[in-house]
Structure 1
């Protein structure tokens, strides 16, 4: 699902993710490192934090 988003939906967005790595890359790394449940939870929490009022910046997968 994340790969589909990165390939087809992300290029259509007009705004950029304020975080490094981007939220979708963070999600991929989290799922690869921790598996679907914990990695998915980390990715979801990151997506919730990513909003127009977010400071952003460097935020790697723990």
Structure 2
């Protein structure tokens, strides 16, 4: 059941990466992008903790300072 949740969550993020407007996708100031970061976090920590870490990253995303922010 958790493997399906993980796969579905990552699939939803891939759909976002493919179909979200370029203006929204290019606003991320960090490397890797926020959506890629969330996929990495989900793969490393699991769905619940990974999504939580991804949301924390999204909250920091539009701040003035950017840069590298790897897991």
* TM-score bin (small chain): 0.7 to 0.9
Q: Is it true that 1:8 corresponds to 2:19 in the alignment?
A: yes
- As a proportion of its length, which structure holds more helix? 2
Query: How many residues were matched structurally?
Result: 60
Counterpart in the other structure of 1:55: 65
Write the deviation string for residues 13-39 of structure 1: whole angstroms up to 9, x where unpaired.
Answer: 374311011101000000011110000
RMSD: 1.7
Segments of structure 2 that go 5 or more residues without pairing to the other structure are: 1-11
Structure 1 runs not aligned, ≥5 long: none
1:40 to 28, 45, 51: 51
Deviates more, 1:25-34 or 1:5-14: 5-14
